[in-house]
Amino acid sequence: MFFIASSYCENLNEFVLPKIVLHFLIWQLIIVQTIMAYIWFILNRIYFCTIMVTKVTDAEFFDELKNNDRVAVKFYADWCGNCRLFAPKFNRMSEKDEYKGVKFLDVNAETNPEARKLVGVQNLPTFAVFKDGELVTADFTSKEDVVDKMIQGIA
């Protein structure tokens, strides 16, 4: 008789797995489902949710202003908590259908002084919108509706 991963009841027609084996199988199923959900999440972010915000340097910033009619810019710093909190909101704005013709840029204010001087960044995060290479407006804010109105002004 086989007693490896099972045991027989008095009635040999009944096949019963010990509780430990059942728990092991359940945990394996949970782990596999978790891994599959994680893979689906990653693939979804890569293929279906494209983020339209481009991180640029000083030189790239001025090239983007020349090559695009309408540009929305977020000036940030790595240490800035409000900048980090606003990043997902700015990414979502870039995906809106109403802003298809607007180029969204992220500029690190600490490492790109020329772009920072052009806008006059004093506090972070600072948002600026450009139309035809000219600064339309710039504002220091962490409110999504304020930035939304700024972008609507050029869209």
CATH number for the domain that contains residue 85: 3.40.30.10
pLDDT of residue 2: 46
Same domain, 57 and 37: no
Is 39 within a domain? yes
| Residue 83 bears catalytic tag | yes
Cα–Cα distance measured from residue 86 to residue 65, given in angstroms and rounded to the nearest whole number: 23
Question: In terms of pLDDT, which residue wins out, 13 or 29?
Answer: 29
Domain count, the chain: 2
Q: Which of 51, 52, 80, 155 is catalytic?
A: 80
Is 140 within a domain? yes
The average pLDDT across 35-47 equals 74
Q: Which of 83, 105, 118, 150 is catalytic?
A: 83
Domain range for 82: 53-152
**Tens-digit pLDDT profile for residues 70-116:** 999 999 999 999 999 999 999 999 988 899 899 999 999 999 999 99
Question: In terms of pLDDT, which residue wins out, 51 or 43?
Answer: 43
Same domain, 59 and 32: no
Is 75 within a domain? yes
Residue 32: burial class (beta carbons within 10 Å; 0-12, 13-18, 19+)? exposed
Is 1 within a domain? no
| Residue 49 bears catalytic tag | no
Q: What percent of the chain has pLDDT over 70?
A: 83
Same domain, 16 and 66: no
Same domain, 124 and 59: yes
Q: Whole-angstrom distance between the N-terminal and C-terminal Cα of the chain?
A: 77
